[in-house]
A and B are shown apart, each in its own frame.
Chain A
């Protein structure tokens, strides 16, 4: 497949990653605590920017590590069986997202390990300096690894067959696109919108967001299956 095709898979994978909500929840809580603790707008911006930095770095690290592991294992062209496993993972996680993603209670609690959720809540409350906000960003990506692993895996498979320069561009595109929702929230908070309105919108639309996240994974799986498996099989006939 050409460069555009691979980057299309990377972008689509990043969009499905973007539909997951843990980092958005943590950013909302962090901003709420920060404003509630009477910190200045400049301090709020420093904390939230550091949080975004942490999310970006951890996304880059996980995607790079997955790509490196796949290159070491299979070289630049992964076998079709691995692509099939990736598609299966996408469908499995899509079903899990549709069934479990939000807990069946008020609010926007997510189906992540409760110990991890409670750790994030405590750390968010305790975050006072930029370095802590940065590490909170790192942790929030790890916290939703169960869901983001499938799009990351597919993006890594698409990246490893590109030249090194295009791999870097692909990693940049993935990171930027996957962070679009938190960048949007960051802009809203910086512009003076209240956290309560943002949280209310998220709560009111949580089932729509859940559906979109699952549907995104299914669409990605279908796209990859058609482009990588069916095309290859048709080419051999």
Chain B
């Protein structure tokens, strides 16, 4: 069954949007690549993390983008701690 969870954007400034797995996967792959992980490793990690995040989302009709980032980062930490660190830091570097 396809997920229909709504993602409320941070600060409420932008419109709520539907969860898109590919978008999340692209961001995880980018974080993995940023720490110079191999392409295949980045893809596999992203798939595993997306699966875990989707099962978390399955029981929630609405989550904030901040919550999504925290949960993604928590799962990513299991597979690639360095990438998870960078993923967490994205909004809090500047």
Contacts and interface: CB of A to CB of B under 8 A. Distances in A.
Interface residues of A, number: 29
Given A36-B30, A37-B30, A200-B85, A194 B93 contact: no
Contacts of B14: none
| Secondary structure of the B contact surface, majority rule | helix
A79 to B, nearest CB: 38
Contact of B33 (A28, A38, A105): A38
B2 interface: no
B21 to A, nearest CB: 18
A178 interface: no
B92 to A, nearest CB: 3
B89 interface: yes
B93 A29 contact: yes
A35 B36 contact: yes
Contacts of A199: 85-86, 89, 93
Interface in A38-74: 38
Interface string B21-44: 000000001110111100000000
B93 A196 contact: no
A1 B87 CA distance: 52
Contact of B92 (A22, A38, A107, A112): A107
Contacts of A195: 34-35, 86
